[in-house]
Amino acid sequence: MKFNAIAFTVLMVIFSSFANATLIDNTNYFTDTDSGHDWLKLSETVNYSYNDILIQLQAGGDFYGWELATFDNVFELFDNAGGDSAYKTATHSTSNNVMNAILQPLFGYTNAVNQTWFHVKDFTPGGVTSGFILYEGTGRVSKHKDGYSHAYMEYDFIGTALRRISTQQQVSIPEPSTIAILVLGMIGLASRRFIK
């Protein structure tokens, strides 16, 4: 009887750890289920200047309903994707292979050398935007505040990070881990009945 209880507990832990999805791909955006936000893929905002984005966020614009992400918003996304949090204090962080492997295909690559560049809401003096660069294969994350990011310039290799409250959060659906635990509990109860 002790063996059944131990086996049941182990199976519950295994099922619940595999069942929790964090990031879900939805064609032109992806959903971070931990924070409850959708993130627009960067291919949608490449070739818009930062100032153009501000205009397109208004009613009737291409990005109405979205908001500019801040550094803190992006840090939360990085953490939810398995990041190591080193990017919060360092200009360059290099131990984020898992996070980069998850996020780059979702965000999309913004240039030919498989890098992902994007602006965030935070500005530096002089009208230069701030943002991030994710480097494929190296696990490197860089915060940038540089000459490539003037608010009035359109770049074909820099997108802008936009997010919104997830449309998927409006429907309450039990997590797969909850269903797995329920099913395993029913199996455990049924097996007790047959053992007697």
Closest CA to 133 of 121, 122, 146, 124: 146
pTM comes to 0.68
- Structural domain of 195: 1-20+175-196
Tally of structural domains, the chain: 2
If asked whether residues 101 and 186 sit together in one domain, one would say no
If asked whether residues 51 and 31 sit together in one domain, one would say yes
Closest CA to 144 of 164, 116, 108, 163: 116
If asked whether residues 30 and 50 sit together in one domain, one would say yes
Return the residue matching tokens 């660069």: 133
Q: In what order do the strands lie in the sheet with 115-124?
A: 92-93, 140-144, 128-135, 115-124, 159-160
Tens-of-pLDDT digits for all 196 residues of the chain? 555 555 555 444 444 444 444 788 888 999 998 889 999 998 898 888 888 888 999 999 999 999 998 888 888 888 888 877 777 776 666 677 777 777 778 777 777 667 777 767 765 545 555 677 777 666 677 776 655 556 666 666 778 889 999 876 544 455 566 677 777 777 777 777 666 5
If asked whether residues 3 and 93 sit together in one domain, one would say no
DSSP β-bridge partners for residue 128: 124, 150
If asked whether residues 65 and 6 sit together in one domain, one would say no
Residue type, 133: I
If asked whether residues 7 and 95 sit together in one domain, one would say no
If asked whether residues 165 and 190 sit together in one domain, one would say no
If asked whether residues 73 and 168 sit together in one domain, one would say yes
3-state secondary structure of 66: coil
- The C-alpha atoms of residue 193 and residue 159 are separated, in whole angstroms, by 60
Q: Tokens for 74?
A: 């992006």
Closest CA to 28 of 15, 4, 46: 46
**Dihedral-angle region of residue 171 (phi above 0 means left; psi in -120 to 50 means alpha; beta otherwise):** beta
